[in-house]
């Protein structure tokens, strides 16, 4: 079948440097276990603690340590229309003394053509600075623990530009210092600093020697510390970051916001991201595995080594279980000094447990444990987690996983974690995915950059499909100082780095090489760039198809022909087709699903972005549109003074549409593989349409993780088997007595009857291409609204909303009561303002005070209100639409009881108890 139609792990292999014979032993011939002792395995030490942080350059001379000259910013891009055409780059001239020549060699392992690799200058800029010396006094610097996003604590910027970047200052130079104890026993070992993500333009020094760095803030990368380390001493590590202003269209985060690691290996070692497992043949009876292992000799002498991989099933606890299911013994490898070779082998797994997305399938996983031996002694050991599955994008049916059709029910997500900023936290990310799965989400598009590596561990384990995306811009710019500045030098290494890091994750089913790039407008010039990027993907991973998310390119243009799967942003439903946009210079596009299918009959089509609908949780504005979708303006779902958008869920950005319109367009074109809604969660920055706010309005869940009404609309579609009914709006409107107050219902039933104070207001049935039931002439009177939903004539589900009395008390709940005392685990504490009878008060905005007793801390509070500019660490927070959130974190190594208390003037106090334990 053509490449564009098929994606597996994996149908064919790239030929690497050397193909060696392998010996495959069936699992039944042995009783291997994962517990074989290793005498000298690699060490991977997480460097989360012991850091000192300083905002700004600590001495004037440090200010010259810049990566390269940047263009002068004469006009802010803040508030620029989200689908505005990107601009040509502003040309600058590098000057002598910039760090670019010293940083570029870090990319060499990811540059395919050896002739294009970079030669490092011999000197060490910055070595003379006091900040590099071990005796430099940094006691006044802030002690921090990684992951660390220094900008998330605020304060918010109440005026001026940078609403697009979340009204949080993420720019300017910052420094991190840490002593690195390297014992004398590490002499002769290879030592690496592995950085999962640093925002941005990172430069690393060890003992005053410039080691290397990486400009792109979202990628993971490695620098080799070995030449500069002094075993037996305390070594001084210093890292400078220099994130630019005007560098993003959303909140990029700041600092060492992901984990940093020290990796130690013997000179003969498995290469960085040097293993890949593929499954080119998969059936219920057996699966054929192929594996590549890159072995590197960092020593000064030739070496001989034996390499073996044992494969085990992973248990529900993420640990290998049972005997090995297969083993590959590679032929002995002979390595010259400073050389590397790629070994290849095959094995068969009988009766494999397949990986597939929930709930249709199960996300079973395996692990390959690879050992390198010299003279019978294990000198390196690494684990490769993977899944056995077959994935195929079919032009007619959409996505097939293990031969079964899977409709993509996806969302886009930015990388911030709400009030925690961009600092990655496993539990916070897991909570987001749990909430999304609860409404039926089965896929995530990573917008618009590589994620923290742990996020893909979560999607693998939780059975979520993933589009992994690398860039938001190529050579043309969306903001004055975004990635376009380094694209010519870094697009290849950044793309290869992402592919090598993530290609073993079974959840990744599609690689996206760009999002709404300006090269859509440049004809063949843009297609040349796309062709180069797609070729890199095929070199690194010939098993998954490519896409790019297109909001402008049409079927007749060159760019769509270069990718394997057609990814459309908003074009499927049509963009700005309302008469009021005629004659404007904005993108106006009629529905494009069928035109793309006609032009590319051999390619599958997926909506990489849909909807971009707006709403503020719990806010309802009148009058209510009679249409199924509408743009957002004052009097049309929006209130520019309050900076809120109605939760009737009918309003969207100008180029977007309501969920209802998207559902209808997809149902009329069943060949479309599915959709990725913009977005799963509100995210920091990009606060269209009100750039004085801090966060977006387009999430199905708000920034605090509270469900908007729209969540029930999507749940009704994505979980039709689940009995559910949901009424809106709330029914506490003392100022609307006698006024028309429309009532809408979202349900997985097919009809429903509405009652107001016991009187039937009529029974309605869902029509063709209708996804909600509407009673638009209801006249408000206090009391009780009740909905009784039916399915196929039988009672299905009910929902009731009642008029609330005055705010009288608080109700608190926590997502988990048993926590790990590891300094990372979190509990999310929800506070609801209620009346004396316990009925939620839907418009309560009381100021709440949080406190905590026990071995933990409240690290942030929030309420989901995009207009709230109170700093996230504040222990006081106004309720928004009756709710607020506190995020509690444990202390490392300190177990014990925790009690979180919340109080408000006139409402008393309430509390919840938790426990942190060492486990």
Angle ∠(411,412,414) on CA atoms, nearest 5: 140
**Which pLDDT score is estimated for 423?**
98
Q: How far apart are CA 135 and CA 854, in angstroms?
A: 37
**Which pLDDT score is estimated for 13?**
31
**Model confidence band, residue 32 (pLDDT cutoffs 50, 70, 90):** very low
pLDDT tens per residue across span 75-88: 899 999 989 999 99
Mean pLDDT of 698-717: 98
**Which pLDDT score is estimated for 7?**
34
**Which pLDDT score is estimated for 94?**
81
Matching residue, tokens 């180029």: 655
SS3 assignment for 451-481: CCHHHHHHHHHHCCEEEEECCCCCCCECCCC
**Model confidence band, residue 34 (pLDDT cutoffs 50, 70, 90):** low
> What's the token pair of residue 363?
């996300």
Q: What is the largest CA-CA distance in the chain?
A: 90
**Which pLDDT score is estimated for 1?**
36
Range list of β-strands (E), 766-846: 773-775, 784-791, 794-802, 809-814, 818-820, 826-834
pLDDT tens per residue across span 459-493: 999 999 999 999 999 999 999 999 999 999 999 99
Return all residues near 35 (Cβ < 8 A) that are at least 6 apart: none
* CA distances to 418, 702, 706, 909 from 681, in Å: 9, 6, 9, 30
Mean pLDDT of 534-551: 98
Exposure class string for 829-853: b at 16+ Cβ within 10 A, else e: bbbbbbbeeeebbbbbbbebebebe
pLDDT tens per residue across span 379-393: 999 999 999 999 999
Q: Which of 667, 656, 716, 662 is nearest to 689 (CA)?
A: 656
Q: Which of 13, 2, 1, 5 is nearest to 538 (CA)?
A: 13
Query: What is the percent of the chain with per-residue pLDDT over 70, rounded to a whole number?
Result: 96
- Catalytic positions: 516, 609
pLDDT tens per residue across span 412-426: 999 999 999 999 999
Exposure class string for 400-439: b at 16+ Cβ within 10 A, else e: bbbeeebbbbbbbbbbbbbbbbbbbbebbbbbbbebbbeb
Cα 663 to the chain's mean position, in Å?
A: 24
845 torsion bin: left (phi>0), alpha (psi -120 to 50), beta (else): alpha
**DSSP string across 113-170:** SGGGPPPPPSS-TTTTSGGGSTT---TTSEEE-SS--TTTT-----SSS-TTTTTS--
**Model confidence band, residue 93 (pLDDT cutoffs 50, 70, 90):** confident
**Which pLDDT score is estimated for 305?**
97
- Neighbour tally for 895: CB within 10 Å: 16
> What's the token pair of residue 724?
């559910």
Mean pLDDT of 319-342: 96
> What's the token pair of residue 919?
């486990």
Angle of helix 659-667 relative to helix 709-718, nearest 10 degrees, comes to 20
**Which pLDDT score is estimated for 35?**
53
Q: Which of 432, 392, 382, 415 is nearest to 276 (CA)?
A: 382
Q: Report CA dihedral (20, 503, 297, 110) to the nearest 10 degrees.
A: 120
Q: How far apart are CA 918 and CA 895, in angstroms?
A: 6
Q: How far apart are CA 849 and CA 858, in angstroms?
A: 11
* CA distances to 121, 281, 354, 506, 641 from 389, in Å: 46, 9, 6, 7, 52
Mean pLDDT of 154-178: 97
pLDDT reading at 568 higher than 60: yes
554 burial level (CB within 10 Å; 0-12, 13-18, 19+): middle
Mean pLDDT over the full length of the chain:
95
Mean pLDDT of 729-753: 98
pLDDT reading at 733 higher than 90: yes
Q: How far apart are CA 471 and CA 448, in angstroms?
A: 6
792 burial level (CB within 10 Å; 0-12, 13-18, 19+): exposed
Mean pLDDT of 263-283: 97
**Which pLDDT score is estimated for 20?**
33
Matching residue, tokens 């803030």: 217
**Which pLDDT score is estimated for 95?**
84
Exposure class string for 133-146: b at 16+ Cβ within 10 A, else e: eeebebeebeebeb
Q: How far apart are CA 7 and CA 509, in angstroms?
A: 7
pLDDT reading at 348 higher than 70: yes
Q: Which of 96, 151, 101, 143 is nearest to 122 (CA)?
A: 101
* Dihedral angle sign, alpha carbons of residues 245, 246, 247, 253: positive
Q: Report yes or no: 887 and 916 within 8 Å, Cβ to Cβ.
A: no
**Model confidence band, residue 25 (pLDDT cutoffs 50, 70, 90):** very low
- Neighbour tally for 440: CB within 10 Å: 18
pLDDT reading at 717 higher than 90: yes
> What's the token pair of residue 94?
């590098």
pLDDT reading at 876 higher than 50: yes
Mean pLDDT of 155-176: 97
Return all residues near 533 (Cβ < 8 A) that are at least 6 apart: 491, 495, 513, 514, 546
pLDDT tens per residue across span 634-693: 999 999 999 999 999 999 999 999 999 999 999 999 999 999 999 999 999 999 999 999
**Which pLDDT score is estimated for 10?**
35
- Neighbour tally for 640: CB within 10 Å: 13
pTM: 0.95
SS3 assignment for 109-125: HHCCCHHHCCCCCCCCC
Q: How far apart are CA 250 and CA 243, in angstroms?
A: 14
Return all residues near 462 (Cβ < 8 A) that are at least 6 apart: 358, 363, 430, 433, 434, 437
* CA distances to 106, 469, 555, 782 from 486, in Å: 14, 17, 30, 61
pLDDT reading at 8 higher than 50: no
Angle of helix 426-438 relative to helix 453-462, nearest 10 degrees, comes to 40
**DSSP string across 328-389:** EEEPPEEE-TT-EEEEEEEEEEES---B--TTTS-B--EEEEEEEEETTEEEEEEEEEE---
Residue 23: what are its φ and ψ, rounded to 5°?
Answer: -110, 125
Q: Are strands 443-446 and 465-469 parallel, antiparallel or unpaired?
A: parallel
Mean pLDDT of 312-328: 95
């Amino acid at each position: 079948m053509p490449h564009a139609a098929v994606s597996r792990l994996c149908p064919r292999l790239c030929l690497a440097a050397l193909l060696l014979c392998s010996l495959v032993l069936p699992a039944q011939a042995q009783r291997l276990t994962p517990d074989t002792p290793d005498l000298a395995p690699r060490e991977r030490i997480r460097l989360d603690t012991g850091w000192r942080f300083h905002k700004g350059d600590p001495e004037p001379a440090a200010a010259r340590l810049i990566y390269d000259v940047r263009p002068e910013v004469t006009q802010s891009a803040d508030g620029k229309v989200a689908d505005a055409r990107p601009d040509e780059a502003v040309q600058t001239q590098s000057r002598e003394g910039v760090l670019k020549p010293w940083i570029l060699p870090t990319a060499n392992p990811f540059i395919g053509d050896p002739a294009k690799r970079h030669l490092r200058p011999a000197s060490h800029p910055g070595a003379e600075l006091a900040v590099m010396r071990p005796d430099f006094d940094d006691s006044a610097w802030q002690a921090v623990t990684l992951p660390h996003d220094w900008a998330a604590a605020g304060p918010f910027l109440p005026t001026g530009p940078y609403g697009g970047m979340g009204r949080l200052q993420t720019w300017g130079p910052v420094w991190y210092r840490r002593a690195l104890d390297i014992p004398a026993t590490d002499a002769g070992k290879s030592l690496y600093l592995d950085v999962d993500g640093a925002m941005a333009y990172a430069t690393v020094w060890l003992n005053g020697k410039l080691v290397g760095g990486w400009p792109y803030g979202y990628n993971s990368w490695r620098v080799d510390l070995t030449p500069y380390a002094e075993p037996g001493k305390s070594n001084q590590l210093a890292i400078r970051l220099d994130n630019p202003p005007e560098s993003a269209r959303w909140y990029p985060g700041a600092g060492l916001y992901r984990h940093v690691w020290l990796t130690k290996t013997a000179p003969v070692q498995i290469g960085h991201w040097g293993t890949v497992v593929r499954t080119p043949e998969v059936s219920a009876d057996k699966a054929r595995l192929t594996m590549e292992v890159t072995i590197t000799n960092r020593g000064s002498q030739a070496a001989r080594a034996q390499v073996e991989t044992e494969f085990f099933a992973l248990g529900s606890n993420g640990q290998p279980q049972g005997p090995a299911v297969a083993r590959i013994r590679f032929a002995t490898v002979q390595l010259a000094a400073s050389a590397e070779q790629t070994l290849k082998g095959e094995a068969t797994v009988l009766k494999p447990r397949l990986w597939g997305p929930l709930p249709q399938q199960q996300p079973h996983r395996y692990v390959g444990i690879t050992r390198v031996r010299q003279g019978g002694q294990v000198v390196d050991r690494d684990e490769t987690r993977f899944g056995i599955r077959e994935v195929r994008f079919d032009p007619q049916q959409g996505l097939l996983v293990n031969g079964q059709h899977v409709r993509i029910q996806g969302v886009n997500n930015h990388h911030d974690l709400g009030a925690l900023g961009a600092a990655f936290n496993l539990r916070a990310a897991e909570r987001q995915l749990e909430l999304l799965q609860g409404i039926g989400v089965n896929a995530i598009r990573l917008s618009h950059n590589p994620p923290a590596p742990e996020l893909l561990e979560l999607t693998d384990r939780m059975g979520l499909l993933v589009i992994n995306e690398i860039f938001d811009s190529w050579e043309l710019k969306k903001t004055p100082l975004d990635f376009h500045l380094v694209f010519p030098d870094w697009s290849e290494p950044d793309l290869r780095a992402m592919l090598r890091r993530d290609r073993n994750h079974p959840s990744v089913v599609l690689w996206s090489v760009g999002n709404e790039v300006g090269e859509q407008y440049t004809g063949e010039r843009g297609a040349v760039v796309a062709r180069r990027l797609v070729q890199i993907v095929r070199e690194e991973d010939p098993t998954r198809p490519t896409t790019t998310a297109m909001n402008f390119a049409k079927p007749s243009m060159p760019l769509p022909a270069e990718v394997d799967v057609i990814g459309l942003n908003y074009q499927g439903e049509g963009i700005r087709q309302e008469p009021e946009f005629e004659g404007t210079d904005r993108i106006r596009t009629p529905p494009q699903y069928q035109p793309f299918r006609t032009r590319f009959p051999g390619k599958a089509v997926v909506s990489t972005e849909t909807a971009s609908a707006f709403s503020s949780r719990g806010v309802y504005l009148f009058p209510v549109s009679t249409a199924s979708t509408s743009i957002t303006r004052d009097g049309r779902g929006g209130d520019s003074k309050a900076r809120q958008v109605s939760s009737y869920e009918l309003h969207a950005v100008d180029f977007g549409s309501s969920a209802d319109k998207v559902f209808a367009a997809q149902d009329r074109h069943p060949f479309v593989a599915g959709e990725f809604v913009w977005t799963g969660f509100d995210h920091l920055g990009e606060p269209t349409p009100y750039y004085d706010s801090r966060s977006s309005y387009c999430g199905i869940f708000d920034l605090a993780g509270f469900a908007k009404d729209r969540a029930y609309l999507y749940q009704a579609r994505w979980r039709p088997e689940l009995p559910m009914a949901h009424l809106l709006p709330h029914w506490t409107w003392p100022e609307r007595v006698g006024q028309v107050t429309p009532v809408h219902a979202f349900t997985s039933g097919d009809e429903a009857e509405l009652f107001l104070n016991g009187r039937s207001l009529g029974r309605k049935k869902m029509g063709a291409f209708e996804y909600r039931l509407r009673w638009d002439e209801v006249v408000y009177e206090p009391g009780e609204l009740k909905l009784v939903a039916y399915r196929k004539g039988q009672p299905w589900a009910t929902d009731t909303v009642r008029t609330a009395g005055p705010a009288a008390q608080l109700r608190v709940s926590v997502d988990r009561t048993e926590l790990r005392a590891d300094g990372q685990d979190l509990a999310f504490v929800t506070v609801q303002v209620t009346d004396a009878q316990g009925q939620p008060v839907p418009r309560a905005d009381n100021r709440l005070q949080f406190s905590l007793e026990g071995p933990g801390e409240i690290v942030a509070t929030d309420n989901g209100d995009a207009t709230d500019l109170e700093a996230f660490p504040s222990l006081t927070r106004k309720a928004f639409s009756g709710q607020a959130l506190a995020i509690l974190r444990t202390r490392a190594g300190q177990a014990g009881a925790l009690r979180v208390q919340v109080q408000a003037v006139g409402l008393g106090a309430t509390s919840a108890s938790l426990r942190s334990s060492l486990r």
